[in-house]
Amino acid sequence: MADSLKRLNTNRPGNFYVDTTCINCDTCRQLAQDSFEEVGEYSAVVHQPAGDRETLQAYRALLACPTGSIGTEQSDQSLLKSAKADFPLLVEDDVYYCGFNSEKSFGANSFLVQHADGNWLIDSPRYLKPLVDAFERRGGLAYIFLTHEDDVADAARYAQRFGAKRIIHRADAHAMPDAEEILEGLELCLFEKEFRIIPVPGHTAGSLCLLYRDRFLFTGDHLWWDPETQRLESPRQLVWNAEALHDSIQKLTHYPFEWVLAGHGGRTHLAPQHMRKALLDLVERCESRRD
């Protein structure tokens, strides 16, 4: 729970604030970009929410914050309750953002795919009753797809609760050694008709992307959308192997997709031809960095 005595002086005066426990994970900036921005080494409230829409977004950010670093001087319990009920938050079609990001994964995003042949959880949020109940109402979880070793969080608890099969690559399996499905090698894996699992080593040796219906690409920390530069970006620090990372980004040019749903960084939707252009631009920038 946020502490008003630790309120950062970079916050605008008003009801909402960020305190000094912030880890600058960018969760709040994704959910309420009108109100939160990065200021120095932390996020801060740069615009106090005005009206129900902005206030509801700010409460979503408060709930999703992995460290409980967002607080209010006075709480609107009705809007807070509405914000909690919004999670999992619809992205498009049968894809949802879970919210309630976990500090164990440095605030990484997790997603739900509601599917007739069994629901998929992509990476793990905090294990909380509101999400457990929400997953239960939607038919439980059949699979838990883990993009890489950093973002497993509470996957084991969700797997035990729902009897779900956890999927991870062998190279990162030390993070979830009792996973039910451990993948090997670098080849594409077709899984349950509409799901393609694409090994993308680079950030970690066992990084994976999940492509759903050739539209939604769940990327973990492999690549993301930067709302400031308006382009796809990839990690430059904490990289297991830069050459492998470049090759893995280039590998994605062989697949069509419209959505990038990342563990960290912004998520975006582009027409397929524009997404391909953005990906080729990233490949070119990566190649120039190697020269």
Strands 89-92, 95-97: pairing kind = antiparallel
Angle between helices 129-137 and 155-162 (to 10 degrees): 40
CATH of domain 4-84: 3.30.70.20
Task: Give the model's confidence band at 289: pLDDT under 50 very low, under 70 low, under 90 confident, else very high.
Answer: confident
Q: Is 209 helix (H, G, I), strand (E, B) or coil?
A: strand
Contact of 126 with 101, CB cutoff 8 Å: yes
CATH fold group of domain 87-290: Metallo-beta-lactamase; Chain A (3.60.15)
Torsion of CA 243, 217, 60, 99, to 10 degrees: -80
pLDDT, one tens digit per residue, over 45-98 is: 999 999 999 999 999 999 999 999 999 999 999 999 999 999 999 999 999 999
Average pLDDT over residues 109-133: 97
Task: Give the model's confidence band at 291: pLDDT under 50 very low, under 70 low, under 90 confident, else very high.
Answer: low
Contact of 267 with 259, CB cutoff 8 Å: yes
> What pTM value is reported for the model?
0.96
Domain spans in the chain, listed from the N-terminal domain onward: 4-84, 87-290
Task: Give the model's confidence band at 265: pLDDT under 50 very low, under 70 low, under 90 confident, else very high.
Answer: confident
Average pLDDT over residues 121-126: 98
- Amino acid letter for position 80: L
CA angle, corner 160, sides to 157 and 165, nearest 5? 105
How many angstroms separate the CA atoms of 23 and 95, rounded? 27
Residue 145 pLDDT more than 90?
A: yes
DSSP 8-state code for residue 243: H
Provide the CB-side half-sphere exposure for 149 (13 A, CA). 16
Strands 42-45, 36-39: pairing kind = antiparallel
Q: Which residue from 156, 153, 155, 184 is spatially nearest to 171, judged by alpha carbons? A: 184
